[in-house]
Amino acid sequence: MRELVVYLDRTLVGKLFEESSLWGFEYDSTWLTHGYNIIPGLLFKAGRQLDGATTRPVQWFFDNLLPEEQARTLLEKEAKVQPGDAFSLLTAIGHESAGAFTLLTPGAKLDAGQAIELTPAELNERILNLPKLPLNLSERKKMSLAGAQHKMLVIFKDGQLYEPSGQLPSTHILKPEHTDASAYYFTTRNEWFVMSLARACGLSVPEVHHIYLPAPVHIVKRFDRSGEYPDIHRLHVIDGCQLLGLSFREKYSASSVESLKKLADSCIAPGPARLAIFKWALFNAFVGNGDAHLKNLSFRLTDRGYQLMPHYDLLSTSIYAVVGKHHLEELSQKMGAAAHFGELRKPCLAIWAGAWIARGTVIKNYGTNEKDNHAGCR
């Protein structure tokens, strides 16, 4: 049996274990007295709780903390773990995961860590070594941020970059250009511009920066942190897949009006959350972002319940389509009968909006009536 001790920020929460290829979790007795349930779909009680053969809330929750695709493959190689062995990968790099969790082997102690100054030349050299080597040094910060793109955990203060070690939390996420620059060009400027545009359009987004090392990098302030360096604290933030109890593999297939509404209705203030997610989906459709999925929505768990957090990973993906074929790119979420950007019409938006807002508002802003909207969205 394999085990990991789980901390939320600096507080012991419980024990993650694997038994006969099934994952399980056991809450610490002190946490049961003063804490709350951290895993949707799991009971908040004493004793060991083991996943089932088909429904696996524990495994899916913690697997969602890990990166995806090429970023995961690279970390598996660097950590010398078998491909697909998520538990071993969490063991190797779980010192800082997405959100607030720290995962340590039994007996290991929380190391306060330190911030090590990172020069532009050193960071530029690491970027040039992608995808052969990960951005964060293995003897410093263990990087397990969720997502498919290469990312680096940093502290960014007064224009200076630092690399945190041990359990010292990072304050920002740094992204270099995509490693396949011929197919996915100017990704740092793309994301910085679209994030800045989103802010100008009234969406809630974190602070962003774009700098040159000389290699261009995009820097995003983490919204799952509070305080300023050196007094930084982790906040309990989970993504849409975790909140719905889904595997990360369902981030696209399960991204529908129904699941988005379910996420909004899980929040402390469902009405404002619905409106914010509705505007987020519209914005993604308008800027040509076909990669807006359930893991791009984050929620903070407070003592009152879930709170929708700022939007991130906003960029235009349709610009990378074959020239003249942009309209054939798929929408992130089907809107009415429209499944591709080129099929999107005002009546389609009206049908889709009808699932979110009052019928009278839909007729006033999008179309005359439901019959006309369906006729116009074919």
Instruction: Calculate ∠ Cα 320-283-347, nearest 5°.
Output: 105
End-to-end CA distance of the chain: 55
Give the integer Cα–Cα distance in Å for 103 and 96: 7
Asked whether the beta carbons of 301 and 238 are under 8 A apart, the reply is yes
- Note if 51 is an active site residue: no
- State the residue for tokens 């809450």: 27
**Nearest one of 72, 232, 204, 240 to 151, comparing CA atoms:** 72
Beta carbons within 10 angstroms of residue 27's beta carbon: 25
Asked whether the beta carbons of 116 and 88 are under 8 A apart, the reply is no
**Nearest one of 115, 97, 134, 375 to 232, comparing CA atoms:** 115
CB-neighbour burial class of residue 323 (10 A; exposed 0-12, middle 13-18, buried 19+): exposed
The sign one gets for the Cα dihedral 254, 275, 146, 338 is: positive
**Nearest one of 271, 181, 246 to 41, comparing CA atoms:** 246
Asked whether the beta carbons of 80 and 63 are under 8 A apart, the reply is no
3-class state of residue 153 by DSSP = strand
Asked whether the beta carbons of 51 and 22 are under 8 A apart, the reply is yes
Which of 180, 231, 291, 303 does the annotation list as catalytic?
291
**Nearest one of 156, 170, 214 to 188, comparing CA atoms:** 214
Q: Which residue numbers are catalytic?
A: 291
